[in-house]
Amino acid sequence: MVRNLESLIDRLWRAQSRDDLQTLSVELRDYYEIAHIVYHWVNSDGEQYGVGTYPMTWVEHYLEHDYLRVDPVIQGCYQRFHPVDWKRLDWSSKAARNFMKEAINFGLGNQGFSIPIRGPQGQFALFTLNDTATDAEWASFTERNLRDLILIAHFFNQKALEFEPNAQPDAARALSPREVDAMTYLALGYSRAQVANTLDISEHTLRAYIESARFKLGAMNTTHAVARATSLGLIVV
């Protein structure tokens, strides 16, 4: 049975294992009524693991052909801090086009959207959604759900960090560069409109960064988040 989003996020917060994350990725996919949801982790040593709904045949095919080296999504998102629609990545090479054709043949769908996440000690992760849809339908879906998806992505990453054998207690508290920017400008007294204009992002996207930072900091509201970020030395004003 598809649960409501609040219930799913609460269970994600209370997840105790990677198996829990796997179960929740399936339920979130069903909640959003899309083809796939995947969380993919790569650490500084190149080790990978993931949870999600991709067919195992595709996962095995991906690993067998070492597609990490040529995957335009990995390569493109590693250079970005913003969520990105796959259509905006560089698919001009023959290898990239063949990669996409194979992905579609394995049932991933013609659309993709990934949220890059960076953690301590070189950790890099992607939270990705896929479906079969027109460009207009996909743009509407991602814009409508962006705020929640960014928060869900960071929940997945926090849990993944907690489940690492050598996890550091404060690892999940690190803010992304954009979250640091947002908190810094707010600490300087900028209004949300001024911050969004300065960072050249929409106020909707800014809200997502603020909420993500607030969650990581365990803050009750934005003012509390700014105060905690300052006291922890995560921002300097």
Q: Give 6-63 as a DSSP string.
A: HHHHHHHHT--SHHHHHHHHHHHHHHHT-SEEEEEEE-TT--EEEEE-S-HHHHHHHH
pLDDT of 59 above 50? yes
Overall domain count for the chain: 2
Query: End of a domain among 134, 163, 192?
Result: 163
Residues 89 and 200 in one domain: no
Neighbours of 75 (CB within 10 A): 14
pLDDT of 58 above 80? yes
Structure tokens of 190? 């900028």
Flag whether 168 is in a domain: no
Residues 117 and 213 in one domain: no
Query: End of a domain among 140, 163, 186?
Result: 163
Query: What does the pLDDT read at residue 168?
Result: 52
Of these ranges, 23-32, 58-67, 117-126, 147-156, the one predicted with the greatest mean pLDDT is: 23-32
Find out whether 168 and 121 touch, Cβ atoms under 8 Å.
no
Query: What does the pLDDT read at residue 126?
Result: 92
Find out whether 83 and 176 touch, Cβ atoms under 8 Å.
no
CA distance 98 to 33: 27
Which one-letter amino acid corresponds to residue 157? Answer: N
Cα–Cα distances (Å) from 151 to 78, 89, 102, in that order, read 19, 23, 30
Find out whether 133 and 111 touch, Cβ atoms under 8 Å.
yes
Residues 72 and 152 in one domain: yes
Mean pLDDT score across all residues of the chain: 86
Query: End of a domain among 104, 132, 163?
Result: 163
Flag whether 237 is in a domain: no
Q: What is the mean pLDDT of residues 156-177?
A: 68
Query: What does the pLDDT read at residue 91?
Result: 94
pLDDT band at 1 (very low <50, low <70, confident <90, very high): very low
Residues 189 and 135 in one domain: no
Q: What is the mean pLDDT of residues 8-20?
A: 86
Cα–Cα distances (Å) from 32 to 129, 144, 202, in that order, read 10, 11, 23
The CATH number that applies at residue 140 is: 3.30.450.80
Secondary structure of residue 191 in the 3-state scheme: coil
Flag whether 157 is in a domain: yes
Cα–Cα distances (Å) from 158 to 145, 173, 174, 233, in that order, read 20, 9, 10, 20
* % of the chain surpassing 90 pLDDT: 42
pLDDT of 231 above 60? yes
Cα–Cα distances (Å) from 13 to 117, 167, 197, in that order, read 17, 17, 32
CA distance 115 to 77: 8
Query: What does the pLDDT read at residue 153?
Result: 87
Flag whether 236 is in a domain: no
Residues 142 and 179 in one domain: no
Flag whether 191 is in a domain: yes
pLDDT band at 89 (very low <50, low <70, confident <90, very high): very high
Flag whether 170 is in a domain: no
Query: What does the pLDDT read at residue 216?
Result: 82
Q: What is the mean pLDDT of residues 89-118?
A: 93
pLDDT, one tens digit per residue, over 189-228 is: 999 999 999 998 988 889 888 988 888 887 778 888 888 8
Q: What is the mean pLDDT of residues 70-82?
A: 85
What is the residue range of 180's domain?
175-231
pLDDT of 165 above 50? yes
Residues 159 and 182 in one domain: no
Contacts of 52 (CB under 8 A, 6+ apart): 22, 25, 36, 37, 38, 39, 40, 128
Residues 78 and 185 in one domain: no
Residues 11 and 122 in one domain: yes
Which one-letter amino acid corresponds to residue 211? Answer: E
Residues 18 and 125 in one domain: yes
pLDDT of 169 above 50? no
